[in-house]
Amino acid sequence: MISLSDDARPAPRPVVQEVHRPIAPLLRYIDQIVGGGSEHLEFRFSQGVLTRFDIDVLHVADENLGNLLGTPDAGAPASPLAVAVLVRNLRRHDIALIRTISRASSEPPRGRSARWAQSLLDRATDAFIVFDESTPTPDADKTTLIPHAHYRDRFMGYPRASIVRNRVLCIAPTELPPETRGLVAIPRAANTADLELRVVGSAAPALAGAIDSEAARYPRHLSARLEAVSDGAQVQEIDAAELTIIPETRTIEHYQTLFLVLSLDRPVLTPRTNAMTRLAQQVGPEWLHLSDGPVTADALDLALARVRAAPDGTRPNLEGRSLQTTQNAYAVLFEDVARRRARS
What digits encode the pLDDT tens for the residues 114-138?
A: 889 999 999 999 999 999 999 999 9
Residue 5: its pLDDT value, please?
A: 44
- Which of these ranges, 72-76, 175-179, 329-333, has the smallest mean pLDDT? 72-76
Q: What percent of the chain has pLDDT over 90?
A: 82
Q: What is the mean pLDDT of the chain?
A: 92
| CA atoms within a 13 Å half-sphere pointing along the CA-CB vector of 170 | 31
* Interatomic CA distance for residues 300 and 244, integer angstroms: 10
pLDDT of residue 75: 64
Strands 15-18, 222-225: pairing is unpaired
- Residue 167: enclosing H or E segment and its boundaries? strand 167-175
Mean pLDDT for 282-288 is: 97
Q: Which of 68-77, 292-301, 316-325 has the lowest mean pLDDT?
A: 68-77
Which range has the worst mean pLDDT, 71-85, 164-178, 213-227, 329-343?
A: 71-85
In this predicted structure, the answer to whether residue 3 has a pLDDT above a threshold of 60 is no
Bridge partners (DSSP) of residue 278 are none
- The mean pLDDT value for 162-183 works out to 95
Decide if 16 contacts 43 (C-beta within 8 A): yes
Q: Is the pLDDT of residue 19 over 90?
A: yes
What residues are paired with 200 via a beta bridge?
A: 171, 225
d(CA 91, CA 285): 47
The dihedral over CA atoms of 249, 252, 257, 259, expressed in degrees to the nearest 10, equals 90
Give pLDDT, residue 11. 62
Hey, is 173 helix, strand or coil? strand
Residues in the chain: 344
